[in-house]
Chains A and B, each alone.
Chain A
Amino acid sequence: MADIQMPKALQWVRLLRPLLEKYGVDYRQYCLVVRTKYEMAARSQNGIGLTMQTNGPKKPSANPMRTSFLVNLLIGGVIALLMALYAHTSLMTQLTTLFSTLFIMFFLTMLTSYSTLILDPRDRQIFTVRGVSGRTLNLARLSIVGMFLLLTILSLGGPSLIVIAMSQQNIPLVLGTLLGALLLALFCFVLSLFLYLLVLRFFDGERLKNILNILQIVIAIGFYISAQLPNLLGADVLAKFNFTIPNNVFFWWYLPAVPVWFAGPGLLMAGVFAPSAWLLTVLAVVVPAVLLVIYLKHAGRFEQYLEKLEQSDATSRKNGWWFTLSRRVLTANSEEATYYTLGWRMLQYEREYKLRVYPQLAYGLIIPLIMGSAFLRNMSWAMAKNFAPYLSVGLILAVPTALMMLRYASQPEAMGIFRFVPFATQGLLLRGIVLAMFARLFLPLLLLYPLAMLAVAPATALTSGLLVLTLSLAVTFLFGRFMVGKVLPFSAEFNATKGMQNGTIGCVTVGLAMVLIFAVIMVGGLVHAWWLDLIGAAIFGVIAWLSWRSYPRSIMYDLHLQETESDQD
């Protein structure tokens, strides 16, 4: 029987043949699965391949990963700049900084881009029923994700390696750092597989899908926030922690600080033969290896558990009080309430939306703290507490992303219903959905924050809260018309290419939002007067009301969705 033809990018698979066959893998089937997964990833719209969309089979395979590689290379360049700034510090400090950044990037990539490759329930329906064993399928899946991860390492870490090579003039160090990066990627890879295995083991049906989503979202938020921790603490605080880490001393906190382990091989290769370097190297090699062996032993269960993704449960859902109350208060009529419900439900279940917007919300909460930390830290408490009630205005930083993402859905064809129903007041659809987004994501935080601030600044907590609330509402309505505008919400499948195009609009609106945030915090904090808050609230309230009124009832959306053969029947 002829060997399976593999694309050029997958020729390396041949090298694995003896090892795979020894492990009990059907090599032919393995090649087929790897090739298929590669083709599908190349055509995927979620950022793995980033190719131009075509309907035919040929173009995507031509160079599927080039764009994605270039985007990561750009980010890698920024990391390399950071490395150049740290060039004067100790080698351990540089490597720790590099690996902490790469750890965040790898883990986020695993969770956002590659999870669809790992958790595809169709694999069982298509491969397992045709005699592909769990072991073969699992290893094929891991191989293709491993390959994509390797490309990610090279693009993200490559520029930093060049900076290290140029600044340190030490080739063994570069090789050691590369080894550290590979081990770090392996660690992220296996750790995320374990997380999935754990969740698949203990949950079923819809609950399983929800938990998987929550896990991904929480980790993404956690990483975004922790990445800002150094900025939040400030350079002077970090200096007190003696941030230049010596090369040859072992601190207890190295053990939980996972990215630090992977500095070990680089230190050793650079000639630092201290016990700490040896210990870190042992941790960097042994822990991922042990995790990998344990995972491979349990890989078969992964396949069985995937079946659970196909199950559904019978639990019924009830409308929450916040949904019921906000819909009644915010919507003008029953038609708008219908669209409000649609928007609310979509935001409830759209995983991609949550993955991209929730971290931005967390970011919005933390950014003013970062911006303010430089001068608030040096202020007296009496002065600083005047600024605190206005910090929630940072949330408007998330408004552009939250609005932009309203265009996308995982099943945009469902919006085709609006082609068939009488739909005279399309502006209400946009307004209802924008309102639902605001009430679901922003309003609870904007209401809770002033209440919490009552303890800190009772005089202005509520008035500043009202000011921020009206400002956020005005910004949401204005940007909503402009950004979602003529496109029927939830009518396009998200893809990273579109995401990048929207990035330009996003940058401008985020820039505007930053100016507003700065102005509100500075003016509000310096003047610190309830009457000024009320004047501001009145102005923004009027702007919000006018924008709300201005949503045209006669918008005619282009209801052209992706056509299928059946459309021609």
Chain B
Amino acid sequence: MEPAIKLSHVQKAFGAKTVLKDVSFAIDPGTIVGYIGPNGAGKSTTVKIILGLLRQDAGTIEINGRPLREDDNDYKRHIGYVPEAVDVFDALTAREYLTLIGQLYGLDEAVAGEKAEQLAAIVGLAPAFDRRITSCSKGMRQLVLIIASLLHDPDILFWDEPLNGLDANTVLVIEEILHELRDRGKTIFYSSHIMDVVQKLSDRIILLNDGEVQADGPFNEITSGADTNLQELFNELTGFAEHGEKAKAFVDIVTGGDR
């Protein structure tokens, strides 16, 4: 079976700063991968390279066994993307925006609109469906992004902080949606800073630190069965141990001294 996503020795630098030093991994279809790392580790850069928003300096990328070329756009029809920043045309209504996205993926206008409306109704977006996105709450906007990534039934999903702004009930629904999609053979590349969610959702975890893959495997495997959680492992692998001291120093400043 061909990997859904395969990166081999991908490197990327912005000027003098090397963001990705040598990143390689292969992800099988039907897997939820938690792609984690501290800010600036290179997570978003990896996703942007795969989506064709940036070009790597070295290395190769394959999607569904097909190497990506510079002018390749067809593979993007198999990908659904939720960006971390809420990049939408907020002068449009949710219906208009989602219909546009469906049409960009080749759906007919009526089909895209109807499918978007059905999905919106399930996740509670219906009341805002015909309002301009600019007047929607953060959670509503996030739901627009999530629906936009799924309208065309993609094989691979790149979701960057997808639960931002969602209420607890909707989070549960989205988590279930992810499992359901995985069970139907979709590959999900999930990036988040909320470690307990990543631990709960992911079949496999890739930890990126300083532009390199520092850990890669199922949670039990990378912890060697030790009695720990992903947050502790993350702190350990990224060399961050002084959170207690930092918190104390912070509160000292807030309250004007040690009490």
Partner of B88, one of A2, A28, A126: A126
Least distance between A529 CB and chain B CB atoms (Å): 59
Interface residues of A in 255-286 (CB under 8 A from B): none
20 more CB-based (< 8 A) A-B contacts, given A129-B79, A566-B139: A2-B108, A4-B103, A28-B103, A39-B96, A44-B91, A55-B132, A56-B130, A56-B131, A122-B89, A125-B83, A125-B85, A125-B87, A126-B87, A126-B89, A129-B51, A129-B81, A131-B104, A132-B104, A311-B14, A565-B136
Least distance between A7 CB and chain B CB atoms (Å): 13
Q: Verify if B128 is at the interface (C-beta below 8 Å from A).
A: yes
Least distance between B13 CB and chain A CB atoms (Å): 13
Partner of A307, one of B53, B85, B139: B53
Q: Verify if A297 is at the interface (C-beta below 8 Å from B).
A: no
A367 CA to B126 CA in the complex, in Å?
Answer: 57
Partner of A55, one of B14, B74, B105, B135: B135
The contact sample of 10 A-B pairs, CB cut-off 8 A, is: A2-B108, A4-B109, A36-B89, A39-B96, A40-B91, A43-B91, A56-B130, A128-B51, A129-B79, A130-B101
Residues of chain A contacted by B89 (CB below 8 angstroms): 36, 40, 122, 126
Residues of chain B contacted by A55 (CB below 8 angstroms): 131-132, 135
Q: Verify if A562 is at the interface (C-beta below 8 Å from B).
A: yes
User: Chain B, 126-144, contact with A by CB distance < 8 Å: what is the 0/1 string?
Assistant: 0010111011111110000
| Contact assessment for A40 and B103 in the assembled complex, using a CB-CB cutoff below 8 Å | no
Interface residues of A in 9-61 (CB under 8 A from B): 28-29, 32, 36, 39-40, 43-44, 55-57
| Contact assessment for B106 and A1 in the assembled complex, using a CB-CB cutoff below 8 Å | yes
| Contact assessment for A130 and B93 in the assembled complex, using a CB-CB cutoff below 8 Å | no
Residues of chain B contacted by A204 (CB below 8 angstroms): 15
Residues of chain A contacted by B137 (CB below 8 angstroms): 564-566, 569
| Contact assessment for B95 and A57 in the assembled complex, using a CB-CB cutoff below 8 Å | yes
For A, the interface residue count at a CB cutoff of 8 angstroms equals 36
Residues of chain B contacted by A530 (CB below 8 angstroms): none
| Contact assessment for A564 and B135 in the assembled complex, using a CB-CB cutoff below 8 Å | yes
| Contact assessment for B52 and A128 in the assembled complex, using a CB-CB cutoff below 8 Å | yes
User: Chain A, 525-569, contact with B by CB distance < 8 Å: what is the 0/1 string?
Assistant: 000000000000000000000000000000000000011111001
| Contact assessment for B87 and A122 in the assembled complex, using a CB-CB cutoff below 8 Å | yes
Q: Verify if B21 is at the interface (C-beta below 8 Å from A).
A: no
Q: Verify if B39 is at the interface (C-beta below 8 Å from A).
A: no
| Contact assessment for A39 and B106 in the assembled complex, using a CB-CB cutoff below 8 Å | no
A130 CA to B81 CA in the complex, in Å?
Answer: 9
Least distance between B148 CB and chain A CB atoms (Å): 9
Interface residues of B in 152-192 (CB under 8 A from A): none
For B, the interface residue count at a CB cutoff of 8 angstroms equals 43
| Contact assessment for B76 and A32 in the assembled complex, using a CB-CB cutoff below 8 Å | no
Residues of chain B contacted by A122 (CB below 8 angstroms): 87-89
Q: Verify if A479 is at the interface (C-beta below 8 Å from B).
A: no
Residues of chain A contacted by B52 (CB below 8 angstroms): 128-129
User: Chain B, 18-51, contact with A by CB distance < 8 Å: what is the 0/1 string?
Assistant: 0000000000000000000000000000000001
| Contact assessment for A566 and B87 in the assembled complex, using a CB-CB cutoff below 8 Å | no
| Contact assessment for B95 and A128 in the assembled complex, using a CB-CB cutoff below 8 Å | no
Top 3 nearest A-B pairs by Cβ distance? Answer: A565-B137, A566-B137, A125-B87
A500 CA to B104 CA in the complex, in Å?
Answer: 38
Q: Verify if A5 is at the interface (C-beta below 8 Å from B).
A: yes
Q: Verify if B73 is at the interface (C-beta below 8 Å from A).
A: yes
Least distance between B100 CB and chain A CB atoms (Å): 6
Least distance between A285 CB and chain B CB atoms (Å): 33
Least distance between B132 CB and chain A CB atoms (Å): 6
Q: Verify if B92 is at the interface (C-beta below 8 Å from A).
A: yes
Residues of chain B contacted by A356 (CB below 8 angstroms): none
Q: Verify if A133 is at the interface (C-beta below 8 Å from B).
A: yes
Residues of chain B contacted by A36 (CB below 8 angstroms): 89, 92, 100
| Contact assessment for A129 and B91 in the assembled complex, using a CB-CB cutoff below 8 Å | no
Residues of chain B contacted by A40 (CB below 8 angstroms): 89, 91-92
A127 CA to B83 CA in the complex, in Å?
Answer: 13
Q: Verify if B77 is at the interface (C-beta below 8 Å from A).
A: yes
A2 CA to B110 CA in the complex, in Å?
Answer: 10
Residues of chain B contacted by A28 (CB below 8 angstroms): 103
| Contact assessment for B130 and A57 in the assembled complex, using a CB-CB cutoff below 8 Å | yes
Least distance between A222 CB and chain B CB atoms (Å): 32
Least distance between A377 CB and chain B CB atoms (Å): 52
Partner of A129, one of B53, B55, B95: B53
| Contact assessment for B76 and A131 in the assembled complex, using a CB-CB cutoff below 8 Å | yes
Residues of chain A contacted by B138 (CB below 8 angstroms): 566
User: Chain B, 104-130, contact with A by CB distance < 8 Å: what is the 0/1 string?
Assistant: 111011000000000000000000101
Residues of chain B contacted by A57 (CB below 8 angstroms): 92-93, 95-96, 130, 132
Partner of B54, one of A125, A126, A307: A307
Q: Verify if B71 is at the interface (C-beta below 8 Å from A).
A: yes
Are A563 and B135 also in contact (CB < 8 A) when A4-B109, A131-B104 are?
Answer: yes
Partner of B104, one of A29, A43, A564, A565: A29
Are A565 and B128 also in contact (CB < 8 A) when A128-B52, A130-B76 are?
Answer: yes
- Which residue of chain B lies nearest to A566 when distances are taken between CB atoms in the complex? B137
Q: Verify if A209 is at the interface (C-beta below 8 Å from B).
A: no
Residues of chain B contacted by A201 (CB below 8 angstroms): none
Are A1 and B91 also in contact (CB < 8 A) when A125-B83, A565-B137, A565-B140 are?
Answer: no
- Which residue of chain B lies nearest to A304 when distances are taken between CB atoms in the complex? B55
- Which residue of chain A lies nearest to B111 when distances are taken between CB atoms in the complex? A2
A204 CA to B16 CA in the complex, in Å?
Answer: 13
Least distance between B137 CB and chain A CB atoms (Å): 4
| Contact assessment for A565 and B135 in the assembled complex, using a CB-CB cutoff below 8 Å | yes
Residues of chain B contacted by A124 (CB below 8 angstroms): 53
Partner of A39, one of B53, B87, B91, B130: B91
Least distance between B227 CB and chain A CB atoms (Å): 39
A562 CA to B242 CA in the complex, in Å?
Answer: 42
Least distance between B189 CB and chain A CB atoms (Å): 13
| Contact assessment for B87 and A562 in the assembled complex, using a CB-CB cutoff below 8 Å | no
Residues of chain A contacted by B55 (CB below 8 angstroms): 304
Interface residues of A in 124-172 (CB under 8 A from B): 124-133
| Contact assessment for A130 and B104 in the assembled complex, using a CB-CB cutoff below 8 Å | yes
Residues of chain A contacted by B139 (CB below 8 angstroms): 565-566
Residues of chain A contacted by B73 (CB below 8 angstroms): 131-133
A566 CA to B139 CA in the complex, in Å?
Answer: 8
| Contact assessment for B136 and A564 in the assembled complex, using a CB-CB cutoff below 8 Å | yes
A125 CA to B51 CA in the complex, in Å?
Answer: 9
Partner of B109, one of A5, A44, A311, A564: A5
Residues of chain A contacted by B104 (CB below 8 angstroms): 29, 32, 127, 130-132
